[in-house]
Structure 1
Amino acid sequence: MTVLYNGPAIFAGSFRVFFFSAALWAIVSLGLWIIYLAAGVELAGDVISWHAHELIYGYGGAVVAGFAFTAIPNWIGRTPVRGGTLALMFGLWFIARLSAAALLFDIQAMNVASVSEILFFAMFVGLAAREVIAGGNKRNFKIIAVFVLFFLSALVANLNRLELLEVPFLPWQTGLAILLLLICIIGGRIIPAFTANWLKKKLVEDGITNMDDQLPIMFNKFDVVVILFTVLTFVLFIAGYSGYTLFVSVAAMVLHVIRLMRWKGMKTFSSPIVLVLHISYLWVPIGFALLALSGMDLIDETTALHAWTIGAMGSTTLAVMTRATLGHANLPLTDSAVLTAIYTAVNLAAALRIMAAFMYDHYDMLIRASGGMWLLAFGLFVLKFGPIHFAKSKL
């Protein structure tokens, strides 16, 4: 039974409030980072850890929550989480972000930031688990397990910055690995599926009826092997086994390239909204390749991390946020100049950041250009999709 919703439009669906807010935070948090780097403004605390934490748990947490409570109702056929419950969850996320911003200006809000963030993730995981269990769809229990890991990672990260827990690794790197694991799992389902849907229509238009060898290979045992090997690589990397990481990173790169080739992305160049999914996933093996190079002391490790954060995370999340917003607002999933600009800008941001590692004489210029492209991508998203997120819901 459809339940009518008459509250504020922004809380009519998780994709509305969390995708919009995630994009705004992507702009604000990077803006503060640029002020620190370029303007020489003295900011308080460990700014590098702050930058990483806010990208992974601030931006990443909002996008995952927005995706989860948009996708889960489709998986299990239940009414979406919205209204007061959604507003409360968003409020916890917002307080954590506001308090985190205050930390940079030496306003003592660490306890508020950490407690709010822990409560946000606890509420997010609890609600997601409740919905999936109520829907009885055991196939999606493994996604909930990954959400639980993300929550535990956030918990450890916050206890660590409160100096209540000491760990022999960087907690935010664990959070990044979990987000990349989600990209590998969910991407492995939606990328070939969306590509197949688009290719079938195109092949029919071209008069091709024998499609068997033209379509992507769907999720199978090979994908399971790739994901398990990816988990092993991340574990070795986070644990600091650099010698082993070098070899497994190369193997992981090869496996992900093979996986990507199975999805027929080379056939999608005429549709940016489909092609961007393949380009976004390409940053996963690029990150492993750069990680291997860092293991040989040829580049800095942060270059590989930025391939994953700006490239894999940034591009994938924007691709998903644009598609989900259009789809759930009952707007056509068609390409446009704005969408192409968004996808181009975020991928240029990743490419320029990596180029900086190889063109050190132009390092500062390339870093600023990368930041500018990131701001452009998310600025265009806010301008294009913000009005849709705030439009009156018909649900």
Structure 2
Amino acid sequence: MISTTAARRAYAGPALFSFGFRPFFFLGAIWSALVVPLWLFSYFHGGSAALTREWHIHEMIFGFLGAVIAGFLTTAVPNWTGRMPVIGAPLAGLVSLWVLGRVAMLFQDSLGPAAAVADSLFLLAFAAVIWREVLAGRNWRNLPVCGLITLFALSNVAFHLPVEAAADVGVRLALGAATLLIGLIGGRIVPSFTRNWMKSRSFAPEPSTFGTVDRVALGLTVVGAGLWVAAPQAPATGAALVLAGAAHFVRLARWRGWRAAAEPLVWILHLGYGWLGASLLLIGGASLDPDLVPRSAGIHALTAGAVGVMTLAVMTRATRGHTGRPLAADTGTTVIYLAINAAALLRVAATFAGASQPLLLTASGLVWSLAFGGFAVAYGRMLVLPRPSAA
């Protein structure tokens, strides 16, 4: 079998389908930039019956986040396993299933149960691809990733079930899987990229290596997320999540991100991981005292904060690295980093705002769209066009 690198070099089709990150990051960013303002307009002014709160929740989790996860893993897994990458026609087929799901969800009222079937195909097919590659490559270390992707796909199926409360359980299951993916994969790439940056500048001490603190943080997150899916309002759930959030902040401090303050491409990863710790503290606080901490505060610290910031951090870095650009943020990249953090702060603040909530919701949505729309504009050429020959 030829190597992963040789397979990519031998590919002669459209550049858009030469790497998984190219179509999924590009389309996911555009979709994310559109979904939020479409829903806000419908929410405040009335509009299409299809643009409901449930549609907004579904498309931001299973549409947008599903695309980014697919882009990252279809690019990373071949490097983990040494197997042939999913490129060309197979990749185009996966992308087509993702597009089919987005169209189906827009017309779900007309399509009925067929919309749920069409929407579920992408994540189930994607999970099958990841399982096939990891098992065939005997890459046992990443079996937990396969399990989390499967949970994510099944949570989408649960969302569509005609059973009372199934959608809420599906959302919590999906967000729990996303939380663990950030903790697991983010726990690898944040210290690794930080260490590489520090080494290039002879900075010391470098980020701490994986150890007991990391195991405790991940273990508490597994327990807390599991309890949250099963019993979101139980005191034990709140306690476990608060402990998990505190443990992630301890873990983050061991990576010494403040030493990389000069490079936005590095410090954005630390900010994104910090949002994970904050979201667990807030979700746990809502379980312990919902009168003090609104449930929505923690949910949006996780979705707009941890998910929004970490996805944009990974999307920019992976795009620059795999298309031969310097691993340093330019002005446009720094602007979208500031925008996504502002969007998250405004969205969390809106849950505490009372009469000012509509203003903060609108501001958050506009800045969110600026961040992801800005990514699509600034990085679109890198994603769609071939890698420069001189790079």
TM > 0.5 between the two? Answer: yes
Q: Are residue 34 (structure 1) and residue 40 (structure 2) matched? A: yes
So what's the TM-score if we normalise by structure 1?
A: 0.91
Equivalent in the alignment of 1:207: none
Across the aligned residues of Structure 1 and Structure 2, the Cα RMSD in angstroms comes to: 1.9
Alpha carbons 2:41, 2:47 under 8 Å: kept: no
Alpha carbons 1:156, 1:171 under 8 Å: kept: yes
Q: Are residue 323 (structure 1) and residue 322 (structure 2) matched? A: no
Equivalent in the alignment of 1:128: 130
The residue type equivalent to 1:173 in the other structure is: R
Separation (CA, whole Å) in 2 of partners of 1:233 and 1:126:
27
Alpha carbons 2:34, 2:369 under 8 Å: kept: no
Query: 2:159 pairs with 157, 160, 163, which one?
Result: 157
Label 1:282 to 1:311 Cα distance change in 2 as closer, same or farther (>3 A).
same
Label 1:237 to 1:166 Cα distance change in 2 as closer, same or farther (>3 A).
closer
Once the 2 structures are TM-superposed, how far is the Cα of residue 18 of structure 1 from its aligned partner? Answer: 0.4
Separation (CA, whole Å) in 2 of partners of 1:179 and 1:95:
23
Once the 2 structures are TM-superposed, how far is the Cα of residue 151 of structure 1 from its aligned partner? Answer: 1.8
Query: 2:119 pairs with 111, 117, 123, which one?
Result: 117
Q: What pairs up with 1:173-184 in 2 under 5 angstroms?
A: 173-184=172-183
Alpha carbons 2:220, 2:241 under 8 Å: kept: no
Q: Are residue 199 (structure 1) and residue 226 (structure 2) matched? A: no
SS at match of 2:371: helix
Separation (CA, whole Å) in 2 of partners of 1:390 and 1:334:
20
Label 1:347 to 1:393 Cα distance change in 2 as closer, same or farther (>3 A).
same
Separation (CA, whole Å) in 1 of partners of 2:18 and 2:50:
37
Structure 1 stretches of 5 or more lacking a match? Answer: 205-210
Query: 2:55 pairs with 50, 54, 59, which one?
Result: 50
SS at match of 1:108: helix
The residue type equivalent to 1:315 in the other structure is: V
Query: 1:379 pairs with 349, 359, 373, which one?
Result: 373
Separation (CA, whole Å) in 1 of partners of 2:72 and 2:380:
16
Separation (CA, whole Å) in 2 of partners of 1:148 and 1:357:
31
Once the 2 structures are TM-superposed, how far is the Cα of residue 226 of structure 1 from its aligned partner? Answer: 1.1
Equivalent in the alignment of 2:228: 237
Once the 2 structures are TM-superposed, how far is the Cα of residue 342 of structure 1 from its aligned partner? Answer: 1.0
Query: 1:263 pairs with 255, 263, 274, which one?
Result: 255
Once the 2 structures are TM-superposed, how far is the Cα of residue 263 of structure 1 from its aligned partner? Answer: 0.7
Once the 2 structures are TM-superposed, how far is the Cα of residue 165 of structure 1 from its aligned partner? Answer: 8.2
Once the 2 structures are TM-superposed, how far is the Cα of residue 169 of structure 1 from its aligned partner? Answer: 4.5
Query: 1:23 pairs with 21, 26, 29, which one?
Result: 29
Q: What pairs up with 1:61-80 in 2 under 5 angstroms?
A: 61-80=66-85
Alpha-carbon deviations, 1:293-320, whole Å to 9, x = none? 3231113201110000000001000100
Separation (CA, whole Å) in 2 of partners of 1:388 and 1:115:
34
Query: 2:354 pairs with 360, 366, 385, which one?
Result: 360
Query: Which deviates more, 168-177 or 382-391?
Result: 168-177
Equivalent residues, number: 380
Alpha carbons 1:156, 1:165 under 8 Å: kept: no
Alpha carbons 2:173, 2:229 under 8 Å: kept: yes
Q: Are residue 95 (structure 1) and residue 100 (structure 2) matched? A: yes
Equivalent in the alignment of 2:170: 171
Structure 2 stretches of 5 or more lacking a match? Answer: none
SS at match of 1:358: coil
The residue type equivalent to 2:224 in the other structure is: T
So what's the TM-score if we normalise by structure 2?
A: 0.92
Equivalent in the alignment of 1:222: 213
Label 1:279 to 1:290 Cα distance change in 2 as closer, same or farther (>3 A).
same
Alpha carbons 1:189, 1:218 under 8 Å: kept: no
SS at match of 1:150: helix
Higher relative contact order, structure no. (Cα contacts within 8 Å, ≥ 6 residues apart): 1
Alpha carbons 1:12, 1:393 under 8 Å: kept: no
Q: Are residue 147 (structure 1) and residue 155 (structure 2) matched? A: no
Once the 2 structures are TM-superposed, how far is the Cα of residue 168 of structure 1 from its aligned partner? Answer: 8.7
Q: Percent identity?
A: 37
Separation (CA, whole Å) in 2 of partners of 1:316 and 1:325:
14
